[in-house]
Chain A
Amino acid sequence: MKKKSTADKVFVVLNTIFMIVFVTITLYPVLNTLAISLNDGTDALRGGIYLLPRKWTLKNYITILQKDNLITGAYITVLRTIIGTMLALFSNAILAFIVSRKRFLFKRSLSLFWVITMYVNGGMIPVFLLYKNLGLTNSFMVYVIPGMLSAFNMLVIRTYMNGIPDSLEESAQLDGAGYTTIFLKIISPLCKPVYATVALFVAVGQWNSWFDAMLYNRMSPEFTTLQYELMKLLSSVTNQGSSAEAMKNAIGTVTPTSVRAAATILTMLPIICLYPFLQRYFVTGLTIGGVKE
């Protein structure tokens, strides 16, 4: 089928136009943020900056990079992203594996058990008390243990695993393989695309989170995270002060809008770098067809 039909040609043209429009619209806010981040803060207050900075400066970035504790924060953030992602991927994959076994006795109840957790939560104060009593406050563990299993990620993996033919499991069992072997040697290699997806979700979540650092490790600056340090910087330059005193505190030569823009760009960079590594798993397409039928 080398020759393309007219309908197909029309499709390709329309699709290309769609993609161009889509990219333009989604790229705009990012470029706008980039432009503001490279523009003088006081000047940016006037507005009217679109794609290019009006008054170039690196001051916004310098302000951020001079922040105290940034190195500690970056170290902890990288650590929590790596450990947190590995732990979460591993435990969600196991859970998904269990509930996607056709013969598993409690597959329905275990699924329900986790699905419910998506829609209920005890609120900030009870959770805080729990973590405190478990000794998770003022520790690194609070970043990687509580959020390890999530119903959402589990369901995404489960759906994928459900699509893998049972015949694979059955033939392995005939060869004497136990569930651990089936999970590690047979199912997991086929799940790379979905593992990559979940890893991306978890990693981004870990990378961006700061609320837990503030809530549980406020008194332990050695466990501060990058994003928490950025948030502190932001809220200190933000004009959200509700009194003359707060406003006096907030005054500097940088403004919230430009610092926020620079912080956003700095936050995005590592994710942009990480993405191509994961991308090959879901853009090129992994041929698992050979084993499917």
Chain B
Amino acid sequence: MKRKQMLAFGLTIAMAASLLAGCGGEKKDKEKEEGGIKEFTAFFAVPGTEINDDNEIQEKIAEITGAKCKETWLTGQTAEEAVGTMIAGGEYPDFIDGGDAMEQLYEAGALVPLDDYIDDYPNIKEYYTEEEWDKLRKDDGHIYWIQQFGNIYGEEKATTHNDEAFWIQARVLEWAGYPEVKTMDQYFDLIEAYQEANPTMEDGTENIPYTILCDDWRYFCLENAPMFLDGYPNDGCVMVDTDKLQVMDYNTSPTAVKYFQKLNEEYKKGIIDPESFTQTYDEYIAKLSTGRVLGMIDQWWDFAYSVNDSLKQQGLNDQGCDYIPLPITIEEGMKNQWHNSGSVLNVASGLAITTDCDDVEGALQFINDLLGQEVHDLRYWGVEGVDYDVDENGEYYRTEEMRTQASDTAYKASHLCTYSYFPQYSGTSRDGINAMSPQNQPREFFDGLNDDVKKCFEAYGAETYVDMLGTSEAPGPWYPLYSFSGTLTTSTPGGMAWTKMGEVKHEYLPKVVMAEDFDQAWDDYMKVYEDCNPQAFLDEMQAELERRIEEHEKYE
């Protein structure tokens, strides 16, 4: 009996001990100093690529700046969940961009106010104008984060149109002799005519004349075209009448009716891909990658990076399968605003320093150093002689090999370090010659263009994608309003309406397009839509519009 009792007792102790074993978990020093190099930590509540610990450019930057930063990214959670647990646990990295959950971090008092420091760091100070810094102020008057993107240094070097457009394959334009395509009706007429003359590709695969991506949040490819068709820029959620300074709903405009009626007609004619509303994003990308799809609405970044590679690999650009944006409006003679020039300041999020950071000055110095030209070049161009070469005029260029290398996943992890969620510039380098990053370097851009696109640009007298559309200045100090609608939550009537409108549109717009009887379907849709109380949403947007204009007037 004794032995058995001993055994039982022993096991109990072992179990209890194993329970307690974790309790000694040592608290870790976050800012390690290794050989005089400060090590910061950062968390970005967006998916991203983690780089290797011994990344080469990261080491180089560390030599120059005396600091480096271990970045971690969102994995398998929403930004709100990740930030929510962080706040509950009360432990933060040194740097943070909470993405959609930025507001929560501010409310939790997790962020260090930066306004008292900014003046001491010339590169940071220079990053925004006084007015822009003030836009970043929260209601307590302090600045907590620095929006990293959309900041143009010097002259803008826009080559690609990164945003939304009606796209069409170069082969369609070539076949029709590069006509002027200005309205939605002309666009679909052209597609219909081409499809009738050429129902298949060279290898016999049937064309898909027009497809619509409608997967989850990506259904903007279906729903927000009326805004652009009426000649308004991408405020994302409403149109703003620049004379009356009044927000307008693009969902119920006469143009919306015309647009969806057109889609309905084209659907009945078999021009629109019947799988439009059920395809997933992956399937959509697969379709575009086969070169079968003649046209669609999308944002460039949503399809081009993966699709263009695939088309090129198969040699489909020789058949003219690359996509060209067209300046389309609902009526002829309207000004289109598919492309806007200039910086866009999204005040809803940015890079912040947390209260857990023991060395705020050091952290700001790091941001400041990252904005210096030498380090900025390292971040976006890489190492001279390895990732790019310089010609006798001081112009940077890359060989085909360098370009391929730069897109290799493993190479990116071991060599390149862009610190992509730290403040950065686009536009022109401080040397006045080069672009801040390779994508915007005109020579890089042209070297990378396929022949079908070059031919097309030539025919229209354009040099870049942007030239195809023309460009206009940001319409007013309120732009873009999506930086406000993105922060709405269901705790306000307007936010509630906004969420419900999204649900209704998701279900009813496909039904409207597929309906036998368009008018009936549209009426049904409008009835449900009105039940969402869109006015509450518009009222909140109007209030924000007025607030932003008022803020701006202080500077005039």
Contacts and interface: CB of A to CB of B under 8 A. Distances in A.
**Direct A–B contact in complex, judged by CB atoms less than 8 Å apart:** yes
Interface of A: 40, 42-43, 45-47, 62-63, 66-69, 87, 91, 124-125, 128-129, 132, 134-142, 145, 178, 180-181, 210-211, 214-215, 218-220, 228, 231-232, 235-255, 257
A232 B310 contact: no
B433 interface: no
Contact of B75 (A43, A46, A137, A232): A232
A210 B76 CA distance: 10
A96 to B, nearest CB: 16
A253 B421 CA distance: 22
22 contacts: A42-B289, A42-B309, A42-B310, A47-B289, A68-B413, A124-B85, A132-B89, A135-B24, A145-B19, A214-B77, A219-B41, A231-B75, A232-B50, A235-B75, A243-B46, A244-B300, A246-B48, A248-B305, A248-B439, A249-B48, A250-B305, A254-B409
Nearest to B70: A221
A239 B89 contact: no
B25 A139 contact: yes
B36 interface: no
Interface residues of B, number: 72
A242 to B, nearest CB: 7
B420 A249 contact: yes
Nearest to A184: B7
A66 B50 contact: no
Contacts of A138: 25, 28
B525 interface: no
Interface string B284-322: 011101100000000111100111011001100000000
B75 A135 contact: no
Contacts of B18: 87, 141, 145
Given A245-B420, A252-B412, 14 more contacts: A42-B309, A47-B287, A47-B290, A125-B85, A138-B25, A139-B22, A140-B22, A141-B22, A142-B22, A219-B28, A237-B49, A239-B285, A247-B301, A247-B302
Contacts, number: 168
Interface string B393-410: 000000000001001111
Given A91-B15, A241-B47, A250-B47, A220 B73 contact: no
Given A219-B41, A219-B93, A242-B217, A135 B409 contact: no
B74 interface: yes
List 9 A-B pairs, minimum CB-CB distance, nearest first. Answer: A141-B22, A252-B409, A236-B49, A135-B23, A47-B286, A244-B301, A68-B52, A139-B25, A135-B25
Contacts of A237: 49, 409
Interface in B14-56: 15, 18-19, 21-25, 28, 30, 41, 43, 46-53
A162 to B, nearest CB: 23
Contacts of B287: 47
Given A235-B47, A242-B217, A124 B22 contact: no
Nearest to A178: B4
A63 B409 contact: yes
B197 interface: no
B162 interface: yes
